[in-house]
Structure 1
């Protein structure tokens, strides 16, 4: 009897892992790069970045089927894993178990953060065209408030950690790093990628605050 029949969740776990990287993880990397363009100012960001995306054919279908549905499955099944899994970082203090626990904590926090972020930007923009017309100014005004900036900073860092650690875990799950040494080496690669993406994300947040509102390079 195959492993997928013996264990009903076998294929779902693989799908959960895969969707966490593609397209969800890939979209996160793109979104961090997209927001890093804030450093070029309002005109560039609103017209060349946001405007270009809004002009894509079948944008709503892409958002629903390439981003929203994979994200909902990854988040929903992730909550099921948390409910049925077991992580005891205080009882078992080794690093991998601690990362297992942090992965799940960050996942729950990210669900709450994404609900807030999507609600304040994409959903709000559907009801108020002024937000979509000047998303740079909208984000600049929001991030100028220290509590909001702190919330977004934590959200970005949690998202980057979740992706980088998830990539290391996926390599183990898919049998790409079978030995402890391979896992350690690839873990450092993922940590380096996480630091790079974190820097990109923080740069993007700061760009909304320091870039000129009328275009130009900060």
Structure 2
């Protein structure tokens, strides 16, 4: 049996845990946060972005609860990919395919996150007007069909990666030990992914159809 004195064993468990909390929890919160775009520009800029900007110790939260866990999860995930031996065509059973898809979605998601952070957080630091009207900035960007399509793909990559990772984490931590338990919890995780995907998609559409003046 693997030992907790084995660095690889510990890092794999830490990678799994951080993918659920805080990274996965932040994903769920971020999608809910963006779903409030449907209430319009004034509500989103003042009640959502403004409220978050006024949080106490916000830089500490962003660095230690979001950025560093996400960075570790991404870097160690790439290390796992480097040593992966998944062969979905040669061994076409579901768990092997999901393992392979988890790796592929992780790479695509990493590229999307870098683009998203650049378009929002970094752009807001360089141009105060972006931060002052993040709703308008996102609305203008998403008016482009290719940007909207990119965000839609990135969104569903994120929720698929999280949902499958949640099911895998339950196996890794010994919470689902039997095949039946893994299958049942797999359906629960799929439901969670669909729900988060629907909330996120609603948020993207909200930027385009919500009022730009007073909130609805």
Q: Please tell me the TM-score bracket, short chain as reference.
A: over 0.9
Report Cα offsets for 1:53-96 as digits up to 9, x if no partner. 00111111111111000000000000000101211100011111
Name the residue aligned to 1:202.
201
Report the alpha carbon displacement of residue 105 of structure 1 after superposing the two structures with TM.
0.3
Q: Map 1:18-167 onto structure 2 (within 5 A).
A: 18-167=17-166
Alignment coverage as a number of residue pairs? 216
Q: Determine helix, strand or coil for the equivalent of 1:93.
A: coil
Structure 2: gaps of 5 or more residues? none
After TM superposition, give the deviation of residue 11 of structure 1 in Å: 0.5
SS of 1:14 mapped into structure 2: helix
Q: Within 5 Å, which residues of 2 pair with 1:164-179?
A: 164-179=163-178
Partner residue in 1 for 2:4: 4
> 2:178 matched to 1:183?
no
1:165-192 per-position Cα deviation (integer Å, ceiling 9, x unaligned): 0000000001111000000000000011
Distance in 2 (CA, whole Å) between partners of 1:216 and 1:114 is 28
> Which TM-score applies when normalising by structure 1?
0.97
Tell me the TM-score normalized by structure 2.
0.98
Runs (4+) of structure 1 exceeding 2 A deviation are: none
**Structure 1 alignment gaps of length 5 or more:** none
**1:4 Cα offset (Å):** 2.3
Q: Structure 1's 173 and 2: CA in aligned 2 closer, same or farther, altered over 3 A?
A: closer
RMSD: 1.1
Q: Which deviations, in whole Å up to 9, do the C-alpha atoms of 1:130-152 show, x marking residues without a partner? A: 00000000000000000000000
